[in-house]
A = this chain, B = another copy of it.
Amino acid sequence: MAIITLTTDFGEKDHFAGAIKGAIYSELPDVRIVDISHSVSPFNIPEAAYIIFNGYNSFPKGTIHIIGIDSELNEENKHIAIKLDEHYFICANNGIMSMICAEIAPEKIVEINIHDKVETSFPVLDVFVKVACHIARGGTLEVIGKLITEIKPIKDIIPFVNDEKSQIIGSVIYIDNYGNVVTNIKRKFFDSIVKGRDYEVYARSYKFKTIHNKYCDIVNFSVSPEKRNDEGKGLVVFNSSDYLEIAVYKGNPETVGSASSLMGLNLRDTVTINFSKS
């Protein structure tokens, strides 16, 4: 059974996501539809890029991913379909796919050209669903688009490193449900620079000397639970997707506060790592 996932900024209230599902089931009664997220901030392309990049690869090979963010067709915002890592992605050519494509070379990219047959102000419903169902039925990309080789980039995907390799300057690309602050510094990239040296992570006025692998690494289990003072403490971890993350232990944006609210860290803010002389 084919799987089609949905990642959009439609929100939880409007009928849009439901209408998409109805249209897919009308064409393909036996497909499986899975929501990845409908709560991407409106028109927020880097956020959508982070979510789909870190969500897609636990799905089986052959899964078709519809990404409905800023998808109104115009002369600068064409629709594309990409085959990459044996998954299919359907979206606007607005930068969303550049985060994935920076790490994994696409097998094939087409610019969708079935629009002369569908006049529409709701392209996710009218175009993306058609393309997804075509692929789910075993159709090839060439039938619904013309091959292209370049896609539109987004900025700030890759952190900056100075020539001496003594400093990484990264930036905040995502803030998660716990208010934890995700940067564009990935574990592999960090590992390629650190080479056994000491380092300090700076975020605004905060400084950290260790990057942890688990949030509870900062808990002192030798002290009895009642006497501990760990909740609300800041720390740096590589998160489950291997991005460097500024976190607060058991943070909650609506009650005790989170890394974002307590440290005043927001999207596009700078996070720096300084390495000691080796």
Contact of A139 with B by CB under 8 A: no
Please tell me which one of the listed residues B26, B37, B76 contacts residue A13 in the complex, with CB atoms under 8 A apart. B37
Contact of A12 with B by CB under 8 A: yes
A122-145 interface bits toward B, Cβ cutoff 8 Å, 1 = contact, 0 = none: 100100000000000000000000
Contact of A269 with B by CB under 8 A: no
Q: At the interface with chain B, which of A49-57, A96-104, A109-117, A165-173?
A: A49-57
Q: At the interface with chain B, which of A154-162, A191-199, A203-211, A251-259?
A: A251-259
Contact of A22 with B by CB under 8 A: yes
Nearest residue (CB) in B for A124 is B240
- Are the C-beta atoms of A12 and B37 separated by less than 8 Å? yes
- Are the C-beta atoms of A25 and B60 separated by less than 8 Å? yes
Shortest CB–CB separation between residue A181 and chain B, in angstroms? 13
Sorting the interface of chain A by its residue count into under 10, 10 to 19, 20 to 34 or 35 or more gives 35 or more
- Are the C-beta atoms of A55 and B214 separated by less than 8 Å? no
Given contacts A215-B72, A240-B122, contact A15 B36 (CB under 8 A): yes
8 Å CB interface, A208-235 against B: 213-216, 219, 221, 225
Contact of A84 with B by CB under 8 A: no
Shortest CB–CB separation between residue A143 and chain B, in angstroms? 23
If over half of A's interface residues share one DSSP class (helix, strand or loop), that class is named, otherwise mixed; here it is loop
- Are the C-beta atoms of A38 and B12 separated by less than 8 Å? yes
Shortest CB–CB separation between residue A242 and chain B, in angstroms? 9
Contact of A202 with B by CB under 8 A: no
Please tell me which one of the listed residues B60, B225, B255 contacts residue A29 in the complex, with CB atoms under 8 A apart. B60
Please tell me which one of the listed residues B38, B43, B255 contacts residue A41 in the complex, with CB atoms under 8 A apart. B255
Contacts from A to B (Cβ < 8 Å) = 1, 3, 5, 7, 9-23, 25-26, 29-30, 32, 34-44, 50-52, 54-60, 63, 70, 72, 74-77, 120-122, 125, 176-178, 213-216, 219, 221, 225, 237-240, 250-255
| Subset of 17 A-B contacts with CB under 8 Å | A5-B18, A5-B22, A9-B177, A12-B37, A13-B37, A14-B177, A15-B54, A17-B35, A18-B37, A23-B58, A25-B34, A41-B255, A42-B250, A42-B253, A74-B221, A76-B225, A122-B240
